[in-house]
Amino acid sequence: MYLLKIKGAGKLPDYVQVRGEDFKLIAFINLSGIERGLEKNNLGKYSEKILDALAKVDFNEVVQIKEED
C-alpha cells in the first residue's frame, strides 16, 4: 500500500491518503486523528508501520508500506 501525506491549506486540515497496490484510494484520514482513522478503516494491524512511516516522510511525498501478515 502507498501513503500520501498532504499538507492542508487554509482551513483544510493535514491528511493522509492510503492507497492500494493499484493506487486505488482505500482511506482518506485526517492527520490529527490518524490512529482513530486507521481503526475505523480496518487498517489497525498496519498502524505501527504507518505511523513510523508518516513520522519519517515530509508532506507531499509518497511512501510504500509492505502489507505483510
Residue 10's pLDDT is 86
C-alpha–C-alpha distance, residues 44 and 9, integer Å: 28
Cβ-based neighbours of 27, under 8 Å, separated by 6 or more:
16, 17, 18, 37, 38, 41, 43
List average pLDDT for each run of 10 residues in the chain, which is 69 residues long.
92 93 93 92 92 93 83
Residue 69's pLDDT is 55
Q: Where are the alpha helices (DSSP H) in 4-63?
A: 34-40, 47-56
Residue 67's pLDDT is 75
